[in-house]
Amino acid sequence: MAEVNATDGWEPKIIAIVCNWCTYAGADLAGISRIQYPPNVRIVRLPCTGRINPFYVMKALQEGADGVLVSGCHPGECHYLTGNYHARRKFAMLKRYLSYVGLEEDRANFTWCSASEGERFAKVIKGVTEKVRALGPAKKFVKTL
Amino acid sequence: MENVEKKIREEAKKLLADKKVDVVVGYERGTLPLTATPVFITEPDDADKLVYDATCVQNLAKYVHDILSAHKEAQKKVKPEDRKKKVVGVVARGCATRSIVIHLQERQYGREDVVILGVPCNGYIDPKKMGIALAGEEALDGSIAGDSITVKTSAGDKKFSLNDVLADNCLTCRFNNPVISDIMAGENAPAKAADKEYEKVEAFEKLSTDERWAYFTKEMSKCIRCYACRNACPSCYCKICFVEQTMPQFVGLSADQTDTQIFQLLRTFHMVGRCVDCGSCISVCPMGVDLRNFLKKLDKDALELFENRAGAKMEDVPPLSTYKEHDWEEFIYNP
């Protein structure tokens, strides 16, 4: 993570772990509709938010991500019916736990974004990028060895 | 407590003699004064070895799972018509029965595979607190009578109240009596100060982010990653633990601090709705890492958000394997 230490010209690096059916399609729509959003985000596509292991979020932060975004279908709209409801429980616990141990609250973000919400996707990315930019480079929980 | 011991021995003897169980897991006197160690009794005559008092530390549900899963594996190599059943009897206090409830909820074995010899519990002695109370002296002999404990050391006898050396989790225990049992040895024990169980967590929540992180890193820097906590935990029974997993490798092998931190973060996070606060991990920790502060937070959150207390009731569903339509979602980012 070469850019982590250089605050000048530093750009936040955000890992977005998204579900295949809603948010990934939403990101696609944002692209097709030529909506501009910050290029700080790296998208990882998984079948469903229920498939996202909370470990992925912690691991991404450890490996040098400045922020993580998890996004899936709105509650009630899951392709697998209940995946996002289960995910919501897991990530509610995770978010509170990470801030309890002392990580900045805005490093881990969770949202819903459907396939038709290209606009919202761009807004989310903008918002998260700004939040993470305000925090500065991740220092606490980053592997340096 | 003598009556409880007598009853355990009687019942264990009876269970073994009637061949209702193949083995009884309990505690026997340890080799050092004021200690007890797990024992596996298979002969009725050996049942007199069993003891139960404040020196019994480990959560025995761990062994129930170990024995039954090893047996299940071994039976796979036997022809179906020759397969045998194994029934484990276990001396279990509140926390151990909660662990058994968790195993049952997670379908690790059947209710008929285990015979629970419930014991009331007044808490166990934390060896680390004991070391502090003895100020470095070695205990040569000791006895517990009612609420006080007398320890013989080379610097003379020391007498103090049992409450001074009980483990933290025992002092604020909510379930010191078995939640399920087949046979109950003795009357229910008096309740503990359960209303104070989250006091420390609440105080910790009030600290600033940096103070909390400083405490977390300080505690985790003690950890030598011996994985004793995982090995002692009754809820840690995965055949392949994420620690040993290499694809993907969650826990790196370097000496980097974050590798230790991520091990602890991930292991504790696996305990959502599964930690019964038995203190086994803390008692086996050679470095005295304050794991309870973090485990208790997960317990508190699971209670606040999902009204769940791990292993409290057989009918409960583990909190992360169910959901409600209107679960708490204030954390969802809405631009």
CB pairs under 8 A between A and B: 121
Give me the residue from A101, A109, A126 closest to B294, CB to CB: A101
Give me the residue from B216, B250, B329 closest to A102, CB to CB: B216
Q: Can you tell me the distance from the alpha carbon of B184 to that of A20, in angstroms, rounded to the nearest whole number?
A: 53
DSSP string, B251-269: S--SS-HHHHHHHHHHHHH
Inter-chain touch B331–A89, beta carbons under 8 Å = no
Q: Which run of H or E residues covers position B140?
A: strand B139-145
Q: Are B325 and A114 in contact (CB under 8 A)?
A: no
| Mean pLDDT confidence for B182-198 | 91
Q: Can you tell me the distance from the alpha carbon of A4 to that of A64, in angstroms, rounded to the nearest whole number?
A: 8
Q: What is the pLDDT of residues A45-54, one digit of tens each?
A: 999 999 999 9
Inter-chain touch A97–B269, beta carbons under 8 Å = yes
pLDDT of B33 > 60? The answer is: yes
Which among A15, A55, A77, A123 is the top mutation candidate for probing chain B, defined by the most B β-carbons within 10 Å of its own β-carbon?
Answer: A55
| Mean pLDDT confidence for B174-188 | 93
Inter-chain touch B305–A92, beta carbons under 8 Å = yes
Three-class SS of B197-228: CCHHHHHHHCCCHHHHHHHHHHHHHHCCCCCH
- Give the DSSP letter of residue B121: -
B136: confidence class by pLDDT, cuts 50, 70, 90: confident
The residues, any chain, with a CB within 8 Å of residue B197's CB and separated by 6 or more, are B172, B173, B174, B277, B296
Chain B residues with CB-CB distance to A88 below 8 A: 323, 327, 329, 332
Q: What is the pLDDT of residues A20-69, one digit of tens each?
A: 999 999 999 999 999 999 999 999 999 999 999 999 999 999 999 999 99
Q: Are B62 and B233 in contact (CB under 8 A)?
A: yes
Please give the order of strands across the beta sheet that includes B156-161. B139-145, B148-153, B156-161
CA distance A100 to chain B (A): 7
pLDDT value, residue B1: 63
Inter-chain touch A85–B297, beta carbons under 8 Å = no
- Of the listed ranges A35-49, A61-75, B125-139, B309-323, the least confidently predicted one is B125-139
Q: Can you tell me the distance from the alpha carbon of B261 to that of A120, in angstroms, rounded to the nearest whole number?
A: 35
Q: What is the pLDDT of residues B263-309, one digit of tens each?
A: 999 999 999 999 999 999 999 999 999 999 999 999 999 999 999 99
Inter-chain touch B332–A102, beta carbons under 8 Å = no
Q: Rounded to the nearest 5°, which phi and psi values hold at B139?
A: -75, 125
| Percent of chain B whose predicted confidence (pLDDT) is above 70 | 100
Inter-chain touch B333–A85, beta carbons under 8 Å = no
| DSSP helix/strand/coil, B294 | helix
pLDDT value, residue A2: 46
| Percent of chain B whose predicted confidence (pLDDT) is above 90 | 86
Q: Does domain A10-135 have CATH number 3.40.50.960?
A: yes
pLDDT value, residue A7: 59
Give me the residue from A58, A89, A112 closest to B262, CB to CB: A58
Chain B residues with CB-CB distance to A87 below 8 A: none
ipTM above 0.85, yes or no: yes
Which residue of chain B is at minimal alpha-carbon distance from A56?
B250
Evaluate the omega torsion of the peptide bond into residue B33 and state whether it is cis, within 30 degrees of 0. Answer: no
| Mean pLDDT confidence for B158-176 | 92
CA distance A123 to chain B (A): 7
Inter-chain touch A124–B333, beta carbons under 8 Å = yes
A1: confidence class by pLDDT, cuts 50, 70, 90: very low
> What residue spans define the domains of chain A?
10-135
Q: Are B331 and A95 in contact (CB under 8 A)?
A: yes
> What residue spans define the domains of chain B?
2-126+168-184, 127-165, 198-321
Q: Can you tell me the distance from the alpha carbon of B48 to that of B9, in angstroms, rounded to the nearest whole number?
A: 6
Q: Does A38 touch chain B (CB under 8 A)?
A: no
Which residue of chain B is at minimal alpha-carbon distance from A98?
B265
pLDDT of A131 > 60? The answer is: yes
Q: Does A88 touch chain B (CB under 8 A)?
A: yes
| DSSP helix/strand/coil, B85 | coil
Q: Can you tell me the distance from the alpha carbon of A109 to that of A50, in angstroms, rounded to the nearest whole number?
A: 16
Whole-model pTM over 0.90: yes
